[in-house]
Amino acid sequence: MRDLAAAVDRLAAGSLVAFPTETVYGLGADALNASAVRRVFQVKGRPATNPLIVHVADTAMARQVTAEWPEEAEILARAFWPGPLTLVLPRRPDLPSEVTAGGDLVAVRCPDHPVTLELLRRFGRPLVGPSANRSGQVSPTTAAHVDFPPEEVLVLDGGPCRGGIESTVLALSPPRVLRPGLITPRQLAKVLGQEVQLASGPQAASPGQLERHYAPHTPALLLQEEDWPAVRSRPGRIALLACQPLEPPPDLFLPMPIDPEAYAERLYARLREADVAGVELIAVLAPVGEDELWTALRDRLSRATVRYERP
Ligand code: TXA
Ligand code: MG
């Protein structure tokens, strides 16, 4: 494929290539080239304190950037790679320190997308890949949503992302989820044969979890069904993202699926749609589902919106 050859050339020259994954599009650069990695931080406007995920073709490539490969990592990689699970492990000292924001641990994952797996194999080196959006904004789930100047970033179009929200970030010994994602603590516990906690508290979570994140430009409110009439009566045009229609009707209704996997697949594209619809407010009905995936979705929604406070 011509695009892939061009992408490999760009990466080898230290430039950036946006690549498709099963979760969201990533902003790729050679993980072993410090100046290319610094360029990713610049282009995204990302704080240098927030480390990057390293994408690998397989466990052999993961071992090129990690200093240890414990049994737990092997078991998890066998069960979930390629797939939306990021493992946090001790890093190899020769990995540019920018990748880990100066820390001793590196986050690695093998993405489940044929285009990007082929890109990794052809390039033969690991790629850093934060979500391909400007820092703090909504992650892109289509190639068209990656909006960087073409001379700065080559975009490989692999179609819309199936997963729709970012990977689960897992620290080991003991296993704990730093960022909830498409793979749930229960799925991890089943494979590991031990309990997996959701890390809580500001120290425990991934650095990237501390900020307001995944947010549209338009003010966005997260509300309960009973709050809708009060929010609806505000002046200005309002878009509503909800799994069911509410009365009185909004200016723009953006229906969301009831199934959490379909909800995840749709969420970021819907937030972007609402953002360009010319409304003054985006209202999001807080989902009430119990499935574990809703925990990850509520995490993203709580960062993309401000919770509605009753007067
Ligand atoms: O699904 C995904 O993970 C996507 C696709 C492109 O692979 N990538 C992604 O990257 O979401 P990014 O940079 O937007 O988010 C990476 C998250 C951040 O919350 C960051 O703080 C955390 O992973 N992280 C990265 N390295 C870490 C480390 N060494 N220790 C703890 N957390 C880390
Ligand atoms: Mg991101």
pLDDT at residue 100 is higher than 90:
yes
Ligand minimally distant from the alpha carbon of residue 211: 1
208 lines ligand 1 (CB under 6 A): yes
Confidence of residue 229 (pLDDT cuts 50, 70, 90): very high
103 lines ligand 1 (CB under 6 A): yes
- Per the CB < 8 A criterion, the answer to whether 215 and 303 are in contact is yes
**How large a percentage of the chain has pLDDT more than 90?**
91
**Model confidence over 143-168: pLDDT tens digits?**
999 989 999 999 999 999 999 999 99
This prediction has a pTM of 0.96
CA of 131 to the centre of ligand 2 (A): 4
pLDDT at residue 209 is higher than 70:
no
Q: Strands 127-128 and 168-171, how do they pair?
A: unpaired
Pocket test for ligand 1, best of 87, 99, 138, 166 (most atoms within 8 A of CB): 166
Instruction: Report d(CA 28, CA 14) in Å as an integer.
Output: 10
Tokens of 22: 């099963």
Confidence of residue 52 (pLDDT cuts 50, 70, 90): very high
- Per the CB < 8 A criterion, the answer to whether 70 and 173 are in contact is yes
Q: What is the pLDDT of residue 201?
A: 61
pLDDT at residue 47 is higher than 60:
yes
Tokens of 76: 């998890």
Instruction: Please name the residue whose Cα sits nearest to atom 20 of ligand 1.
Output: 208
How many H helices and E strands in the chain? 9, 15
88 lines ligand 1 (CB under 6 A): yes
Q: What is the mean pLDDT of residues 65-69?
A: 98
Instruction: Report d(CA 88, CA 102) in Å as an integer.
Output: 14
Q: Strands 26-30 and 16-19, how do they pair?
A: antiparallel
Q: Check residue 271 and report its DSSP letter.
A: H
Instruction: Report d(CA 275, CA 237) in Å as an integer.
Output: 12
Instruction: Please name the residue whose Cα sits nearest to atom 6 of ligand 1.
Output: 26
Tell me which amino acid residue 16 is.
Answer: L
Among candidate residues 218, 224, 232, 212, the one with its CA nearest the CA of residue 286:
224
pLDDT at residue 202 is higher than 60:
no
**Model confidence over 104-145: pLDDT tens digits?**
999 999 999 999 999 999 999 999 999 999 998 999 999 999
Instruction: Report d(CA 135, CA 42) in Å as an integer.
Output: 10
CA of 18 to the centre of ligand 1 (A): 15
Tokens of 85: 């699970």
Q: What is the mean pLDDT of residues 246-255?
A: 98
Pocket test for ligand 1, best of 53, 113, 137, 265 (most atoms within 8 A of CB): 53
267 lines ligand 1 (CB under 6 A): no
209 lines ligand 1 (CB under 6 A): yes
- Per the CB < 8 A criterion, the answer to whether 250 and 274 are in contact is no
pLDDT at residue 75 is higher than 80:
yes
Q: What is the mean pLDDT of residues 268-291?
A: 96
Instruction: Report d(CA 236, CA 255) in Å as an integer.
Output: 20
Q: Strands 306-307 and 220-223, how do they pair?
A: parallel
Q: What is the pLDDT of residue 212?
A: 67
Ligand minimally distant from the alpha carbon of residue 65: 1
Tokens of 89: 């492990």
| Lowest model confidence (mean pLDDT) among 22-36, 61-75, 132-146, 188-202 | 188-202
CA of 246 to the centre of ligand 2 (A): 31
pLDDT at residue 203 is higher than 60:
no
Q: What is the pLDDT of residue 199?
A: 86
The count of C-alpha atoms lying within 13 angstroms of the C-alpha of 166, restricted to the half-sphere facing its C-beta, is 27
